[in-house]
């Protein structure tokens, strides 16, 4: 059991107990949401700080997603209020674990309410980028985990908007009949994978690359956990890493399906699409050592071999009698994708953007990489 190491931690425990007692009394009154607030308080209590929420407490919160949409909305609002009004790193971590379980195991209504709260949610959706708990050295270090974990969940929510589903929602949990059915039914798993392959094959090149990029972005965020390896291990931290490891495994599956589709159609990629794909592959490759260090049991059979194989596709420019030739080389073969007269190029023909690689159309209709 985690014990408070200063007066601030002690008073937070007393305040939580007092709030829980109040909610228990109010919950006996008709037509109120105190039972909902009580479930969230119990699941995210500052008492037993280093212990993650118990499975029964998580199920209790998830159960509010099987009622009306108004109840589900109130559940998300109450959870977010708890997250944003605490300065305790243990409470924040527990709130994030509950949110993570909603993403993985929550009902459609609960997931839907999470994805649209707040309505103006952007990349900094959970608003924890400046979170600090300076109560003591341990909570200060745990604050870095809170900020990283929040970015992971924000990336999961962003990924769901692009893919149209929550990435690791097939990991339901030991209490779910669906989980037991899915785990034991190989035919079901194969059918789901085949269905996703069919969906990937129907995507336009631009859509396919966008889906790969957004999942690679999640892997990049996950790989940053290598900076937290010196963090003091506890049941709470281990629970977080176990949940994130499932996300990484699921991300590998989704990327691999789409990389195999890229392998089939790369010869039809435009020059711009090929350069964009190579940029994303370099970002993914830069994560390899970090994620292998983090998840030794999730190497992914053939995953990194496929990444290496596709990265062998070379893109560059060659000189041809005073003219520049853009070429893509595949396994030693080169093909000319476009020609342009270098003397005819003018700076005004290009539109540049800042902050990242981008593709811009020139007046002639060609696409170039803005570096």
Task: Enumerate residues 6+ apart whose C-beta is below 8 A from 216.
Answer: 255, 280, 283, 284, 287
pLDDT of residue 12: 60
3-class DSSP string for the chain:
CCCCCCHHHHHHHHHHHHHHHHHHHHHCCCCCCHHHHHHHHHHCCCCCCCCCCCHHHHHHHHHHHHCCHHHHHHHHHHHHHHHHCCCCHHHHHHHHHHHHHHHHHCCHHHHHHHHCCCCCCCCCCCCCCCCCCCCCHHHHHHHHHHHHHHHHHHHHHHHHHHHCCCCCCCCCCCCCHHHHHHHHCHHHHHHHHHHHHHHHHCCCHHHHHHHHHHHHHHHHHHHHHHHHCCCCCCHHHHHHHHHHHHHHHHHHHHHHHHHHHHHHHHHHCCHHHHHHHHHHHHHHHCCHHHHHHHCCCCCCCCHHHHHHHHHCCEEEEEEECCEEEEEEEECCEEEEEEEECHHHCCHHHCCCCCCCCEEEECCCCCEEEEC
- Is residue 12 domain-resident? yes
- Is residue 187 domain-resident? no
Q: How far apart are CA 159 and CA 203, in angstroms?
A: 16
pLDDT of residue 320: 46
pLDDT of residue 15: 60
Region of 188 (left: φ > 0; alpha: ψ -120 to 50; beta: rest) is alpha
Domain with 30 in it: what CATH number?
A: 1.25.40.90
Where the chain has pLDDT below 50, the residues are 1, 23, 25-26, 28-32, 121-122, 172-182, 316-326, 331-371
The domain of 153 spans 1-166
- Is residue 135 domain-resident? yes
Q: What is the number of domains present in the chain?
A: 2
Q: First vs last Cα of the chain: how many Å apart?
A: 53
Number of C-alpha atoms within 13 angstroms, CB side, residue 356? Answer: 6
pLDDT of residue 295: 84
Length of the chain equals 371
Q: How far apart are CA 155 and CA 308, in angstroms?
A: 25
pLDDT of residue 9: 58
Q: Is 83 exposed, middle or buried (0-12, 13-18, 19+ CB in 10 A)?
A: buried
Structure tokens that stand for 223 in this block: 């790989």
Query: Is-contact 264 208, C-beta < 8 A?
Result: no
Query: Is-contact 296 362, C-beta < 8 A?
Result: no
| Residue 266: how many other CB atoms lie within 10 Å | 16
- Is residue 357 domain-resident? yes
Q: How far apart are CA 281 and CA 78, in angstroms?
A: 40
Query: Is-contact 240 53, C-beta < 8 A?
Result: no
Of 140, 166, 192, the position where a domain reaches its end is 166
Q: 95, 102, 221: which is closest to 146 by C-alpha?
A: 95
Tens of pLDDT along 92-124?
A: 999 999 999 999 999 999 999 998 876 554 455
- Is residue 58 domain-resident? yes
Q: How far apart are CA 219 and CA 252, in angstroms?
A: 9
- Is residue 16 domain-resident? yes
Measured in degrees and rounded to the nearest 5, phi and psi for residue 23 equal -65, -35
Of 166, 186, 202, the position where a domain reaches its end is 166
Of 104, 131, 166, the position where a domain reaches its end is 166
| Residue 237: how many other CB atoms lie within 10 Å | 18
Torsion sign over Cα 114, 117, 122, 128: negative
- Is residue 276 domain-resident? no
The structure tokens 């745990």 sit at: 142
Q: How far apart are CA 91 and CA 88, in angstroms?
A: 5
- Is residue 159 domain-resident? yes
């Amino acid at each position: 059991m985690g014990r408070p190491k200063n007066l601030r931690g002690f008073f937070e425990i007393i305040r939580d107990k007092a709030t829980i007692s109040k909610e228990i009394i109010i919950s006996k009154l008709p037509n109120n949401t105190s039972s909902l607030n009580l479930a969230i308080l119990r699941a995210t209590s500052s008492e037993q700080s280093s212990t993650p929420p118990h499975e029964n407490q998580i199920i209790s919160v998830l159960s509010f997603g099987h009622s009306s949409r108004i109840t589900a909305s109130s559940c998300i609002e109450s959870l977010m209020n708890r997250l944003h009004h605490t300065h305790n790193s243990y409470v924040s971590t527990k709130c994030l674990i509950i949110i993570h379980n909603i993403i993985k195991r929550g009902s459609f209504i609960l997931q839907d309410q999470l994805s649209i709260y707040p309505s103006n949610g952007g990349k900094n959706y959970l608003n924890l980028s400046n979170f600090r708990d300076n109560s003591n050295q341990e909570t200060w270090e745990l604050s870095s985990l809170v900020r990283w974990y929040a970015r992971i969940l924000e990336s999961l929510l962003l990924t769901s908007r692009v893919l149209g589903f929550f990435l690791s929602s097939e990991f339901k949990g030991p209490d779910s009949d669906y989980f037991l059915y899915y785990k034991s039914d190989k035919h079901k798993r194969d059918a789901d994978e085949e269905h996703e392959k069919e969906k990937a094959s129907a995507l336009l090149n631009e859509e396919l690359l966008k889906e790969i990029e957004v999942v690679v972005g999640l892997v990049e965020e996950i790989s940053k956990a290598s900076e937290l390896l010196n963090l003091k291990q506890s049941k709470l931290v281990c629970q977080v890493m176990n949940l994130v490891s499932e996300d990484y495994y699921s991300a590998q599956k989704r990327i691999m399906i789409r990389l195999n589709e890229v392998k089939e159609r790369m010869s039809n990629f435009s020059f711009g699409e090929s350069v964009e794909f190579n940029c994303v592959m370099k970002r993914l490759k830069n994560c390899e050592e970090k994620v292998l260090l983090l998840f030794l049991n999730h190497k992914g059979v053939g995953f990194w071999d496929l990444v290496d194989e596709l990265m062998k596709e070379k893109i560059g420019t060659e000189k041809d009698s005073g003219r520049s030739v853009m070429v893509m080389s595949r396994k030693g073969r080169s093909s000319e994708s476009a020609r342009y007269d270098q003397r005819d190029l003018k700076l005004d023909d290009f539109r540049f953007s800042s902050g990242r690689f981008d593709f811009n159309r020139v007046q002639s209709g060609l696409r170039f990489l803005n570096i």
